[in-house]
Amino acid sequence: MDINKRILLGVCGGIAAYKAAELVRLLRKQGHEVRVVMTAAARQFVTPLTFQALSGHAVHSDLLDVEQEQAMSHIHLARWADLLLIAPATADTLAKMAHGLADDLLSTLYLAAECPVWVAPAMNQAMWRKPVTQENVARLQSHGVQCIGPAAGEQACGEQGLGRMVEPAEICRQLLAPEQPGFLSGINIVISAGPTREPLDPVRYITNRSSGKMGYALAVAALSAGANVTLVSGPVSLAVPAGAKLIPVETALQMYDAVMMHSRIADIYIGAAAVADYRPQQLADSKIKKAGDTSKIALIKNPDIIAAVAALQPKPLVVGFAAETDDLENYAKHKLQSKHLDLIAANWVGQAEGGFESDRNALQVFWPGGQQILPMTDKHTLAAQLLKLIAEKLHEKNPVKNS
């Protein structure tokens, strides 16, 4: 980022508000002009005078503050900023932003802002893990909002987990990093995500615990990198990333048909879905009644989607996933070779952290002749890291097209 940027810092209510003072100091030290907007709750934790002294400007707090409105309306304040950063960003403010509510100065500024927007969430670990919070964050990211953190660790309430605001120095590092062009601009990517459901009768089905979070995070990262994204998704409870072409499916056979149709013109296929290996041989026309102490259900194998994509001519760059409970490296390498994949991202499931339904994960990525470990982090950060590695392999495969 160039020097002398005009940064509008929104401070929400929470114990992490004290860190925002250090954030102002660091930003000013690096040559940026900072103006601060505080919510009513934030003023209960840190006084406006603190931020006024550090920023050199009066603090903005009230939407209808007559004296401030005469000097700079909320529209003018939004236009003044080159960048809007909200740190700490509470669950309440994130929800307002995600749903377009504007009942205070900060939420109104977000709606009026035309500059890049960044948030650094901070809240209790249970609040962060709540599905509605994750849906709100995913919605914001699909609208182009950049998210920094949160970090894991001990919280002010004494609990442990994700929810701490990232330290000011790290926020500055990410915020001020040189902007990268869309390194996948014009590239066509097909991503399969979520579980499949294989019906037994009109009311029951076989499925798995996949939440779709990793596949959707990859879609957001790919869109941010300029790619054209087709998202073939099983049933999930996630917001569709803005700009993605969604193909909703339910069964493995439906996913197979959709993936094969769209992968024929794709540059990259990422198989992040947890596809059922088998489906019931017969679908009952009516609800199966309970009878006897045991029951037998005959299953037949579903088509191998990723192997079928890898057999296409011409073949896109094919990226598989392997979720394993044991012997991860050997299983992943065998799948890489036997299915003729270009890369495979392997992760442990059934562990204390990461895997299905979690907001965090770690990956061991293998390709012919190499491997790389991507350590435990949130899935959106992990998706961005994996996508950069995929882009490198695409360039190696076709340097002319991707130069």
Query: For residue range 170-189, what is the model confidence (pLDDT) as tens digits?
Result: 888 778 765 556 789 999 99
Q: Are residues 209 and 324 in the same domain?
A: yes
Q: Are residues 135 and 212 in the same domain?
A: no
Q: Are residues 80 and 122 in the same domain?
A: yes
Q: Are residues 170 and 192 in the same domain?
A: no
Instruction: For residue 328, report the phi and psi dihedrals to the nearest 5 degrees.
Output: -60, -50
Q: Are strands 245-248 and 228-233 parallel, antiparallel or unpaired?
A: parallel
| CATH code for the domain of 330 | 3.40.50.10300
Q: Are strands 33-38 and 6-11 parallel, antiparallel or unpaired?
A: parallel
pLDDT at 154 over 90: no
63 domain residue, yes or no: yes
The catalytic residues are 157
Q: Are strands 360-367 and 370-378 parallel, antiparallel or unpaired?
A: antiparallel
Q: Out of 41-45, 125-129, 255-259, pick the least confident.
A: 125-129
- 267-288 confidence digits (pLDDT tens): 999 999 999 999 999 888 899 8
pLDDT at 74 over 80: no
- 83-124 confidence digits (pLDDT tens): 999 999 999 999 999 999 988 999 999 999 989 999 999 998
- The DSSP code for 207 is -
Q: Are residues 66 and 197 in the same domain?
A: no
Residues 222 and 191: beta-carbon distance below 8 Å: yes
Q: Are residues 130 and 196 in the same domain?
A: no
Q: Are residues 243 and 108 in the same domain?
A: no
Q: Are strands 198-199 and 205-206 parallel, antiparallel or unpaired?
A: antiparallel
- The CA radius of gyration of the chain, in Å to the nearest whole number, is 24
Q: Are residues 10 and 113 in the same domain?
A: yes
| HSE of 267, CA atoms in CB hemisphere, 13 A | 20
Name the residue range of residue 372's domain: 188-397
Distance of CA 102 to the CA centre of its chain: 24
1 domain residue, yes or no: no
Q: Which amino acid is at 215?
A: G
- 18-29 confidence digits (pLDDT tens): 999 999 999 998
Q: Are residues 129 and 192 in the same domain?
A: no
Residue 314 is predicted with a pLDDT of 92
pLDDT at 318 over 80: yes
Q: Are residues 221 and 362 in the same domain?
A: yes
End-of-domain residue from the set 153, 175, 197: 175
Q: Which amino acid is at 365?
A: V
Residue 292 is predicted with a pLDDT of 82
Residues 399 and 317: beta-carbon distance below 8 Å: no
In the chain, the percentage of residues whose pLDDT exceeds 90 is 56
Number of folded domains that form the chain: 2
Residues 276 and 199: beta-carbon distance below 8 Å: no
Q: Which amino acid is at 256?
A: Y
Q: Are residues 141 and 197 in the same domain?
A: no
Band (pLDDT 50/70/90 cuts) for residue 352 is low
Nearest to 321 by CA among 337, 301, 306, 304: 306
Nearest to 272 by CA among 253, 259, 291, 257: 259
